[in-house]
Homo-oligomer: A and B are copies of this chain.
Amino acid sequence: MKNYILKDENAVYYECGFSCDNEIYLRLGEESIFITDGRYSVEAAEKLKHTQIVKARDVVAEAAKLLQKYRIKKLHFDPNDFTVAEYDKLKNSKYTHFEAAPDFSKKRRIIKTAKEIKLLKEAARLGEEAFAQFAAYIRRHGLNQNEKRLFFECSARLSNFGQYPLSFEPIVAINENAAKPHALPTDTELKIGSLILVDAGLKHERYCSDRTRVSEYSNDLNFDKKGQSFLSSKRQKVYDTVLKAQEAAIRASKPGVRACDIDKAARDVIDKAGFGKYFVHSTGHGVGLDIHELPVISSKSETIIEENMVFTIEPGIYLPGEFGVRIEDMVKIAATRAVVL
């Protein structure tokens, strides 16, 4: 790919080590051009060597002008990265044929470098620590608090009181709300014996963590994966099934297998326990600068797993109106197996 254009912040950061919230990055053969407005152009010039900085109010219109000026004949772009209105502006460059290359930046980022893995590992470690702190908070103060407050307190621990950005808005869901994979916080309160699901992550030097744990409220609630015990045998069976499915999928993850085989390893366990129709999403997704990257770990994904991919393994069972369980970790693919980060 000789000539391409990027707008997505993380894609641009990956490309050149800098980004801001209004930018276009153009790679035209050997030439790199970073277009941004007056709020960021000084900082961009300081941080970016061997890159031409162009200051413009309308960065997309400016890109079109430059493509026209340099008479660029063919340019790759990601059709997920531009709106129809932006694309119409780009097409003002009459010389240029725009070649759609869906997810080309994400495809490039699918294998992580040693440096990236180090950052992801540290993000996961900080995430784990934050879960322990949130558990401690719940033990002391969680009783009778609503999901909205617990969502806030979870965000507080994950961000270490503002020191880290979050990977995404945490999910803190009690009982039947946990049966919604993407639950929003409500006024439902935590009671003795309530099931609580927490899905949360933070960004360490821009790299995301992602983790889900489920527990039942008591004085000694914790977010360990093993040893969770539940009052009802149904909850216990669902939890144990999801855990077994997650472990099976982690064991199935290694170089050379197809992503769909990993999904199948988890799905088989859940099917066999009779909960197949309640596992309503795919088994995992890549994690990096974006919280959702490649590979997709689903029943349809033929991607061959390779060393130094990093993705989540997160099977779940969702019983509408009752409760839901999901258990999620990030794994890194080593030479012969997956290592939990």
Contact = CB atoms under 8 A, between A and B. Distances in A.
A150 interface: yes
A331 to B, nearest CB: 25
Interface magnitude class on chain A: 20 to 34
Contact of A84 (B42, B84, B182, B280): B84
Contact of A88 (B79, B182, B280): B79
Interface in A44-82: 77, 79-82
Contacts of A102: 85
Copies in the complex: 2
Contacts of A181: 39
Contacts of A83: 79-84
Nearest to A81: B83
Contacts of A161: 149, 152-153
A100 B85 CA distance: 9
Contacts of A82: 83-84
A236 interface: no
Contacts of A155: 162
16 contacts: A39-B180, A39-B182, A79-B85, A79-B88, A82-B84, A83-B83, A83-B84, A149-B162, A150-B162, A152-B156, A152-B159, A152-B162, A153-B161, A153-B162, A155-B162, A156-B156
Given A80-B83, A84-B84, A155-B162, 16 more contacts: A38-B280, A39-B280, A79-B84, A79-B88, A80-B84, A80-B85, A82-B83, A84-B100, A85-B100, A85-B102, A88-B100, A148-B162, A149-B161, A149-B163, A153-B161, A153-B162
